[in-house]
Amino acid sequence: MNKVLYKLVNSGLLVGTLIASAGWAADTIKIGEVNSYKAMSAFLGPYKKGWEMGLDEINSQGGVLGKNLEVIYRDDNANPGDAIRVAEELRTREKVSMIFGGFLSHTGLALTDYAKRRKMVYLAAEPLTDKIVWENGNDYTFRLRPSTYMQVAMLIPDAVKLNKKRWGLVYPNYEYGQSAVATFMELLSKAQPGVEFVVEQATPLGKIDAGSVVQALDDAKPDAIFNVLFGADLGKFVREGNTRGLFEGKEVFSLLTGEPEYLDPMGAEAPEGWYVTGYPWNKIDTPEHNAFKAAYEAKYGEYPRAGSVVGYTSIKTIAALIKKAGSTDTDDLIKAFSGLSHNTPFGPITYRSQDNQSTFGAFVGKTALVDGKGEMIDFHYIDGADVQPSDAEVAAMRPAN
What confidence tens digit (pLDDT) does each residue in 140-179 have?
A: 999 999 999 999 999 999 999 999 999 999 999 999 999 9
Of 44, 58, 81, 61, give the one whose Cα is nearest residue 6. Answer: 58
The whole-number pLDDT of residue 17 equals 25
Mean pLDDT of 259-272: 95
- For the chain, list the domains and their CATH numbers: 2-147+286-360 (3.40.50.2300), 149-280+362-392 (3.40.50.2300)
Question: How many other C-beta atoms are found inside a 10 Å radius of the C-beta of residue 124?
Answer: 31
The whole-number pLDDT of residue 312 equals 98
The whole-number pLDDT of residue 191 equals 97
The whole-number pLDDT of residue 401 equals 64
Residue 354 reports pLDDT greater than 70: yes
The whole-number pLDDT of residue 11 equals 39
Contact yes or no for 84/110 (Cβ under 8 A): yes
Residue 19 pLDDT grade (very low, low, confident, very high; cuts 50, 70, 90): very low
Contact yes or no for 278/227 (Cβ under 8 A): no
CA dist 302 → 7, 50, 231, 259, 267 (Å): 22, 12, 20, 15, 17
Distance CA 82, CA 74 (A): 10
Residue 10 reports pLDDT greater than 60: no
Of 205, 230, 259, give the one whose Cα is nearest residue 46. Answer: 259
